Amino acid sequence: MAETPPPTTPTRVTYDYVTRTIARTLSTPSRGYFLLLGAAVALLAIGIVTLLYLLRYGLGLAGYSHPVYWAVFITCFVFWVGIAHSGTLISAILFLFRSGWRTAVYRTAEAMTVFAVMTAGLFPLIHIGRQWYFYWLIPYPNERGLWPNFKSPLIWDEFAIGTYFTVSTVFLIMGLIPDIAAVRDLATGWRKKLYALTSIGWTGSNEQWRHYSRGYLYLAALATPLVLSVHSVVSWDFAMALVPGWHATIFAPYFVAGAIYSGCGMVITLLTPIRTLFGLEEIITVKHFENLAKLCLLTGSIVGYAYVCEYFMAWYSGNPTERAAFWYRAFGPYWWASWTMIICNGFLPLLLWVKKIRTNITALFVISIFVNIGMWFERYVIIVVSLAGEPFTKWANAVYNPTWADWGIMAGSFGWFFMWFLLFVKNFPAVSISEVKEVLPPPRSKPSKVHV
Amino acid sequence: MMALPKPLHDLFRPPPTPGVLAVFSHLDTTLAAIKRLRAAGHTDFTVYSPIPRHEIEDALGQPVSPVRAFTLVGGIAGCAIGAWITLWMSADWPIVVGGKPVGSIPPYVVIMFEMTILFGAILGILFNSLFAARRLGTILYDPRFTNDRFGIFVPAGSDKVAKVESLLREAGAEEVRRG
């Protein structure tokens, strides 16, 4: 905030500039946009066809084999839930910390959260194999002979993900309302009607802002413990079981840090093309990317520390099965997955100590993709490799390999996610209009001693 | 517009209010106008701004929004519902696993916590929206208020309009119109 120009200096980035620049992102899409959208829909089509095959011929088409019955689908589930987390971190936790820089990037991150949870939610349903019995997951006393076991972490997970999806959707919509009103007041034609309906009568009156600001604050205050709880609960899906490599108290903080690390990576991956395609260089600056990179560095270091800690504890515990599990992880048949994870998550973020790399958007984009690859492999290693190494006396039992069905569903999930995301950024303001204005000096008729 | 039943209609769609609308291009002139209006004894005027500003809140001397009370009520209700569904359903079909009591509190805390957040958020938002929706579309508005202009609408009968107009102009309004 220190470098804020004196309020009377006319700067290019005024309230009007912000409104018009962001409203322009909603104009008629270019060919490049349709190409991206087409690619996303094509990926989704692959996923749908694979799912139809799975429905027709059963889950045997996926690579499940004894003892690996949680595999790529659960890996993808944890991966997508993790991606979601940084969105809430940026929109809620940094809001409570009053970080001004979040304003330019939080809408993209929050939308990413909602779509990533939507994607994640598909995987348990695909994993159960018979999607038409989805309602068996809902706990209520009944005559179906199903016992709702509230002591199982899987049911906690259902409550956590359900709450997370609802609250983050509400949070996204609530943040959108003043901005939809801003684009409504500039729009024409069918968009005007759409925005008039979706801005639910927002005018920016003092009464509205009074309730809105408070409501938003409390929503952020509720979302903050929620985001920390959700990935903790996801981690307990594993940590509550007795499988060596899963049964560890470090899991909750380790998963939360990993989730935010992967999410920040995904935010960078998504923002880089959006910034260029939509001409938002003056609103989303290198400074924002640098701050995201710093978040990556922080959380990546925590993840790196957790890896060291896990291996140390496996050795220090003196427990032969635990030691064997971690030896298997690093030097067993899945050594390539473990080392991909350690290099991408443990060592790669260390590059971000260098300011030149932190401020180079191309470099950050490349790193962010490797962050995502690394974090996918982290979940693969935790889930698949821990299970594959379970019968310790006969490691040779582990014959698990993902098949085309696993990859098809995974490709479909990326298509599903990117399709929603692309549709969102073209139809609703992808950058918060009112919050970006909040960090600008307000228009004054004479210079003020108080900046901002 | 969709027709609403009578009590809701009276609440959300009262007839248009006559008055004066002023458009300001600066924050400080808006604040000056708010101060003058309050000094002149006006209390029921509406201030439009593209962003929330604490200066405006302070100048208006508004009470804190009651939304937080509903968030609290929602949170407590959610926690109670979480405790109720877990304990009741466990007691409804008691199966002992791992030698643990049928109604074990520690694992149920997770569900109570998630329900606290869910209901707190939902109830807070519901009431926030209901409060904000009051007086919807009954007073003058200008599309520039979501962009870069501030506005003040002062409800005034035909006897007071001229006085309010000159007050707003003196405070530095860019544009003043009646409605």
**Which domains can be identified in chain B, with CATH numbers?**
17-48+141-179 (3.30.70.260), 67-132 (no CATH)
- Cβ contact B46–A445 (<8 Å): no
Number of domain units in chain A: 1
Spell out which residues of chain B touch residue A174, defining contact as CB-CB under 8 Å. Answer: 125
Cα dihedral A320, A321, A324, A326 in deg (nearest 10): -110
Q: Rounded CA gap, B35 and B49, in Å? A: 16
Average pLDDT over residues A388-416: 81
- Cβ contact B47–A206 (<8 Å): yes
pLDDT over 70 for what percent of chain A?
A: 94
Confidence of residue B13 (pLDDT cuts 50, 70, 90): low
Q: In Å, how far is B17's CA from the nearest CA of chain A?
A: 15
Confidence of residue A8 (pLDDT cuts 50, 70, 90): very low
Other CB atoms within 10 A of residue B147 CB: 21
Which residue in A116, A112, A104, A69 sits closest to A376, CA to CA?
Answer: A116
Spell out which residues of chain B touch residue A178, defining contact as CB-CB under 8 Å. Answer: 146
Spell out which residues of chain A touch residue B143, defining contact as CB-CB under 8 Å. Answer: 185-186
Q: What is the pLDDT of residue A146?
A: 79
Q: In Å, how far is A210's CA from the nearest CA of chain B?
A: 6
**Residue A431 resides in a domain:** yes
Tens digit of pLDDT for each residue in A280-333?
888 888 999 999 999 999 999 999 999 999 999 999 999 888 888 899 899 988
- Cβ contact A438–B120 (<8 Å): no
**Residue A225 resides in a domain:** yes
**CB-defined contacts A:B, below 8 A:** 191
CA contacts within 13 A on the Cβ side of B63: 4
Q: Which residues of A153-180 are buried (b: 16+ CB within 10 A; e: fewer)?
A: bebbbbbbbbbbbebbebbbbbbbbbbb
pTM confidence score: 0.90
Q: What is the pLDDT of residue A452?
A: 46
**Residue A220 resides in a domain:** yes
**Residue A449 resides in a domain:** no
**Residue A65 resides in a domain:** yes
Q: What is the pLDDT of residue A297?
A: 94
Residue A149: partners with Cβ closer than 8 Å, 6 or more residues away: A155, B95, B97
Q: What is the pLDDT of residue B44?
A: 84
**Residue A5 resides in a domain:** no
Closest-approach residue (CA) in chain B for A439: B51
Q: Which residue has the higher pLDDT, B11 or B125?
A: B125
Output the CA torsion sign for A309, A315, A319, A322: positive
- Cβ contact A163–B118 (<8 Å): yes
Q: What is the pLDDT of residue A49?
A: 96
pLDDT of A9 above 50: no
Closest-approach residue (CA) in chain B for A197: B1
Parent domain of A348:
15-130+150-438
**Residue A140 resides in a domain:** no
Q: What are the backbone angles phi and psi of residue B177, rounded to the nearest 5°?
A: -145, 155
Ramachandran class of A141: left when φ > 0, alpha when ψ lies in -120 to 50, beta otherwise: beta
Tens digit of pLDDT for each residue in A331-370?
988 899 999 999 999 999 999 999 999 999 999 999 999 9
Q: What is the pLDDT of residue A435?
A: 87
Q: What are the backbone angles phi and psi of residue A80, rounded to the nearest 5°?
A: -70, -35
Q: Six-digit token pair at B30? A: 């808006």
- Cβ contact B114–A159 (<8 Å): yes
Average pLDDT over residues A137-146: 77
Average pLDDT over residues A196-208: 86
Spell out which residues of chain B touch residue A432, defining contact as CB-CB under 8 Å. Answer: none
| B23 strand-pairing partners | B151, B175
- Cβ contact A444–B111 (<8 Å): no
CATH code of A301's domain: 1.20.1630.10
Tens digit of pLDDT for each residue in B94-150?
888 888 888 889 999 999 999 999 999 999 888 887 777 665 556 788 888 888 899
Q: What is the pLDDT of residue B135?
A: 57
- Cβ contact B121–A222 (<8 Å): yes
Tell me what the pLDDT averaged over chain A comes to.
88
| B153 strand-pairing partners | B21, B46
